[in-house]
Structure 1
Amino acid sequence: MSATRTLVVVAHPDLATSRITARLADAVGDLEHVTVHDIAAAGPGGRVDVAREQQLLRDHDRIVWLFPWHWYSVPGVLKSWIDQVLTYGFAYGADGTALHGKTLQLVTSTGGPADSYAADGFNRFTLAQLLTPLDATAHLTGMRLAEPFALFGARTVSDEDLSVHAKTFRALLED
């Protein structure tokens, strides 16, 4: 059985300065069935080659959005990409079935610790609750949302714990 063709959409506003997102992208970049795609580099200045991006999505079975959690949402580079690429007639609508049956995997990192993402925590909501709009996006586009994979406390995570997290991420995509 062949491995699942996976597209890792890397969405970081400045990947060169990233410790977490860059490390996770590097951890899977050599997997034969994985395509790592830095959308900020692919569309400098917010210019997106929509046809190319849509073809990449068509060519893969699992779509991973790899991003740091920004202001209770995705970074602007990913929001812009979603707005430009997941269009009516491609990703949703009567003829928008290109993503039906694919899996969407959210991989994110938060600055705050896990306990801050609870009803009685600093952020007042769980990460699952805060990810609800992305769950709705997966539903609208006919994708199955996989269990999110998150690294909490990214600002203070040790190199050793980051290495373990990167190995776990790699194992997640090795199938």
Structure 2
Amino acid sequence: MKTLVIVSHPNLEQSRINRTWMQELKKHKEITIHTLYQEYPDGKINVAHEQSLLESHDRIILQFPFYWYSTPSLLKQWQDEVLSYGWAYGEGGDKLHGKELGLAISTFGPEDSYQSTGYNHFTMETLTTPLQQTSNLIGTKFLPLFVLNGVMYVSEQELAENAKAYVDYVFQPSKKEA
């Protein structure tokens, strides 16, 4: 299964978590890593190139820090421009049908803050509902979330273990393969 990981972090060089995740993924040449902020520092997205990348992979993972209960701005712009009507959804928009979509998210807040009784009042599953619905609309199978909470308190050993778990997540067999 060809896997594309789209890394969307506006300050990747300063991100201990997302940078470590990406470095661990780079050990596996069968994973294509695509860094949006590096590719498009001017914010001008090459839609045809992005669509071609998506078409040539079976599994797409969006990797990002959770900003204001959503994705970083360039990833949202990417969604708006790349997942276009007639290509990703709507009449003739079937180019992603049958592919898989997963999310790898890092959060500042601890895990217990993402509960109905926690500080944020909602679970990560609830807060990512718009991305789940995007997956439904574009015809992809939505994978379980991969989340690392409380990133400020993660030790180097915990991060190393988590990065290996992330690779396992990226390579997890789909239900149709298992």
1:1-175 equivalent positions in 2, closer than 5 A: 4-174=1-171
Percent of aligned pairs with the same amino acid: 43
Whole-angstrom distance in 2 between the partners of 1:90 and 1:22: 31
Structure 1 residue runs without a partner (length 5+): none
Partner SS state of residue 155, structure 1: helix
Whether the 8 Å contact between 1:58 and 1:98 is mirrored in structure 2 is yes
Structure 2 CA distance, aligned partners of 1:21 and 1:78? Answer: 15
Distance in structure 1 (CA, Å) of the matches to 2:154 and 2:27? 24
Segments of structure 2 that go 5 or more residues without pairing to the other structure are 173-178
What TM-score do you get using the length of structure 1 for normalisation? 0.96
> How far is 1:63 from its partner?
0.2
Runs of 4+ in 1 over 6 A off after TM superposition: none
CA RMSD of aligned residues (A): 0.9
Question: In structure 2, what residue type is equivalent to 1:159?
Answer: E
